[in-house]
Structure 1
Amino acid sequence: MRESAAERHDRLLDVVRRHGSARVSELAVHLGVSPVTVRRDVEFLATEGRLDRAHGSVSWPGAGEPVPTAARPPATRHHDRAPATGAAPATGFRSGSGSGSGSRELVIGMLAPNATYYFAEVIRGAHEAAAAAGARLVLRISDYRPQEDAGRAAGLLAAGADGLLIAPGWKEPDDPVEHGAWIAGLPVPTVLLERRGVPGRELDDLDRVCSDHSHGVLIAVRHLLGLGHPTPLLVARSDSPTAIAVRAGYRYALGALGLTSPLPVIDSVSAEADPNGFEGAVRALRGAVADGRATAALVHNDVDAIRIVQRLAELGVRVPDDLALVAYDDEVAALADIPLTAVAPPKHEVGRYAAELLIERLRGAAVDGAGVGVGEGAPRRHVDLLPRLRVRASCGAPPEPLRIP
């Protein structure tokens, strides 16, 4: 049942009454609603005399002495200063534990857009790192609905999360601006994973761990050039942050290598969601092969690449004889009839590195293994992990030798 405005007002008043004051951004996260909704509620309650309002914050009417710091919700701009260690505030916004042997179990909240395909391995890496550190990972899934991300993060905080790993459910290029500002106001240490903020905006100040998709595209293009092919075409979707990053990486690779694409990017779509659009993409690629404009292609993602190879065969185009092909993601590429050479982003390592970085923040470790401080006041990190190219039959090159431990 949907919560009424009156019920939300009661929850808001209860938080402010117990803590004396609170910032609007903190209330938005705690209540699981947008800052616009909180500001509207605050204006209404202040007009009724039930709250005192100041710029960006509210307080309980007639509050005398200032509320002790330990009783207030912690500061929201944690990328400027990590929360101090100690007991969790009564709101459910919990600070990091100490590093001593008697400290309680850390709880890591993780928000992911799904738990299958690409993100299954990211989640697994984060879970293994949390378990190795004696922490517990709590997962929520957004199903690529970015407008619901803030509410799901609030649910993780209510479940006791000391810190958050956030992979927002963004799909469109404008989503980081339209559905991302709330992340910078989270009251606990937060690490973005496989997502980047807009340069110059709030999210760019957060810790993040990402695959370097530009490098992944570059090594694929360079590999195909090394096999004697002219500039490969890109066949890609545009419905996910990875797809958008692959497209940007293609532009970067062409510039870095001094190349010009013989054709614009061929827009691909899901065969299930848009059969006609998928068929159009396959026929555009077939046409480029038939008229000699392309002998190689990079395809995002694996599933699309497998289906494209199957459909091209029906149309008389053979892989790798007529077209050398590299897939991007390497989730199921090795299982195709013709095993696909693929770029493999380090998904497992992204989850592991992000969880380890967050745990170090929470425990206030003085230095990491490289002697770099990661505790309170330490510089924020942007960690880019490099994808690998796994060579198989679809590009026409000899496969990589089997490595026996």
Structure 2
Amino acid sequence: MRPSVDERQERILQLVRERGSLRVSELAAELGVSAVTTRRDVETLAELGRLRRVHGAVTWPERAAPAPVRHPVEAGAPVLGLLVPADQYYYAEVIQGARAAAAAAGARLVLGISKYRQEEDAAQIASMLAAGADGLLLTPNWAGTTPTAAEERTILGLQVPTVLLERRAAPGSAAAELDRVCTDHVHGACAAVRHLAALGRRRIALLLTETTPTAGFVRTGYHAGLDAMGLDQPEDLAEEDSESRLRRLPDLVAAKTVDAVLVHTDTEALILLQHLQARGLRVPEDVALVAYDDEMAALADVPLTAVAPPKRALGEAAVGMLLDRLAEEPGSDSPRRHLDLLPQLRVRRSTADDAAAS
């Protein structure tokens, strides 16, 4: 039986603790999993301060980060339900932030995982309410970037305070009056384009994973960035599927039609890097790359500059917003809140020389 994510990460910690330092390729061989999977686990553990990444290797941290102050969960303390599509990749850090904020406030967090299946949303919400959830933090699997009328009725029909997490309702809709905490992905993509343009790149392409709720916002930010810098999209690849675009981009780079690419997500960026290297094209000399998500971008052969959504802070802020709502007196008319958190641009070798990269 394949080990779970937790079991695999514990094995990584054990190996690094025993040997002091290991390369990602060595860890992958020990675990019998792909290098991409191992990089993702290492990135997660490094973000938590449980490992250090040094020059392509991982080492045991010199000292552990101090544990956050937590208040014990008391009888009658708030119970918060958190629905997310997955407990890995993007949402692992969101969960960590929510868990830490709930524990620090003396609240209990109940987790529901929908596995990106829309039909699981209702079942997971019902389970959390049955477990005594006083309020809900929801990342529902809507068919589009905003809810349909039926999906909106479902959310509005819940009888407990609700905060949307990384989901937006259409302006002017009833669901838009719910509290929400989101990443400003439009700003993140725009910042990436402005960074590339500031480096002198003028033919900036977009490689987008269309099936994610983030895709539309990244596209909007990309075009806003081009407009702000007075640039045009070098060639329209929107009519082709993701795999076709991946295959075509090295040709466009070789023809000097493209000199930079914003890639959503990290996985697509790593695959594109491999395609470019197979053609003998250099990053960043021939083409600069910026990944979007920053889950494992730093672990690429050429560490990738990346837009990093504030995933942990999203979980923390959402819990704080829900706790504030639960603490209100009955009949309170305090305004609803929409909080947008700005992602960070983390500059690495794929867009800068060694002197400029961090």
Pick the TM interval, shorter chain.
0.7 to 0.9
Q: Deviations over 1:282-327 (max 9, x none)?
A: 2221122122221001000111111110121112222112110000
What SS class does the counterpart of residue 163 from structure 2 fall into?
Answer: strand
- State whether structure 2 residue 190 is matched by structure 1 residue 218: yes
Q: Deviations over 1:205-248 (max 9, x none)?
A: 11000000011011110110110110411101111112232122
What SS class does the counterpart of residue 379 from structure 1 fall into?
Answer: coil
Alignment of 1:248-397 (within 5 A): 248-265=220-237, 278=243, 280-364=244-328, 376-397=332-353
Q: Structure 2 CA distance, aligned partners of 1:327 and 1:176?
A: 31
* Displacement after TM superposition at 1:151 (Å): 2.7
1:206 equivalent among 178, 188, 192: 178
Distance change in 2, residues 1:171/1:323 (3 Å): farther
* Percent identity for Structure 1 against Structure 2: 50
Distance change in 2, residues 1:145/1:257 (3 Å): same
Match of 1:233 in 2: 205
Distance change in 2, residues 1:116/1:102 (3 Å): closer
TM-score, structure 1 as length reference: 0.66
1:129 equivalent among 73, 96, 101: 101
Q: Structure 2 CA distance, aligned partners of 1:176 and 1:330?
A: 30
What is the number of equivalent residue pairs in this alignment? Answer: 286
Contact 1:216–1:386, Cα closer than 8 Å, also in 2: yes
What SS class does the counterpart of residue 293 from structure 1 fall into?
Answer: coil
Contact 2:146–2:170, Cα closer than 8 Å, also in 1: no
Distance change in 2, residues 1:268/1:309 (3 Å): farther
Contact 1:235–1:267, Cα closer than 8 Å, also in 2: no
1:190 equivalent among 162, 183, 198: 162
Q: Structure 1 CA distance, aligned partners of 2:107 and 2:341?
A: 24
* Displacement after TM superposition at 1:268 (Å): 8.3
What SS class does the counterpart of residue 127 from structure 2 fall into?
Answer: helix
Contact 1:330–1:344, Cα closer than 8 Å, also in 2: yes
Contact 1:144–1:171, Cα closer than 8 Å, also in 2: no
Higher mean C-alpha displacement, 280-289 vs 172-181: 172-181
Unmatched segments (≥5 aa) in structure 1 = 1-100, 270-276, 367-374
Match of 1:85 in 2: none
